A and B are shown apart, each in its own frame.
Chain A
Amino acid sequence: EPEVTQTPSHQVTQMGQEVILRCVPISNHLYFYWYRQILGQKVEFLVSFYNNEISEKSEIFDDQFSVERPDGSNFTLKIRSTKLEDSAMYFCARGGTTQETQYFGPGTRLLVL
């Protein structure tokens, strides 16, 4: 099954700035996920999105984070006011034809200075 695509591949931002990470294009899928991987650490679940609503979120996914699917296709992760510790690789994943499978995009590497 094809993986999702993500943009940008890399982003450098100043602390306190807002960033928007995107999964594009996506159609006809119900489940979407965001994960992050801080350098040298394990991949961590952030949030799952089902039928255009957040279905589950982790402790990491605080008020600084939001997700939406604004045009019914792109799936975005917004970080409102970035912190140094938000520097990580952010992966989008979509559910497969069976609910238990997830297919990951190549990731966006975010660096907060």
Chain B
Amino acid sequence: GEDVEQSLFLSVREGDSSVINCTYTDSSSTYLYWYKQEPGAGLQLLTYIFSNMDMKQDQRLTVLLNKKDKHLSLRIADTQTGDSAIYFCAESNSDSNSGYALNFGKGTSLLVTP
């Protein structure tokens, strides 16, 4: 199957910006997503981007998409200790008859230190 790759771990200081990177192989990906998972909790949809866009901003979150390089990044501005969690990159290949099955990366553990 198609791959979604992420670095496993990132540590930043509180107040700094965090950048979490993701690469994918499916050239027909339609949507790309970032989900957040806190310990013992489910997956929270943070943001997503349509593949014909190259940037999306939502408050402290900025998503950048380089479709040519199949590279997605999530920037968190002014990172707080509450942002410590696992961040999953995911992609879907839309098919109106099948829904949008998500293909996830293994997740990046973000640790924010005071």
What residues of chain A have their CB less than 8 Å away from a CB belonging to chain B? 3, 31, 33, 35, 41-45, 48, 50, 55-56, 58, 91, 93, 95, 99-107
Cβ-defined partner of A55 (8 Å) among B35, B41, B97, B107: B97
Decide if B99 touches A99 in the complex (CB within 8 Å). yes
Q: Which residues of B contact A99 (CB under 8 A)?
A: 94, 96, 99-100
Q: Which residues of B contact A104 (CB under 8 A)?
A: 35, 42-45
Decide if A102 touches B42 in the complex (CB within 8 Å). no
Specify the main secondary structure of chain B where it touches its partner: strand
- Other CB < 8 Å A-B pairs besides A31-B99, A42-B104, A99-B100, 14 of them? A3-B42, A31-B100, A33-B102, A42-B107, A43-B104, A45-B102, A45-B103, A55-B99, A56-B99, A95-B100, A100-B48, A101-B45, A103-B45, A104-B45
Total interface residues on B, CB under 8 Å, equals 27
Nearest 9 pairs between A and B by C-beta?
Answer: A56-B98, A48-B99, A104-B43, A106-B42, A43-B104, A42-B106, A104-B42, A45-B101, A55-B98
A100/B106 contact (C-beta < 8 A), A31-B99, A91-B42, A106-B42 known: no
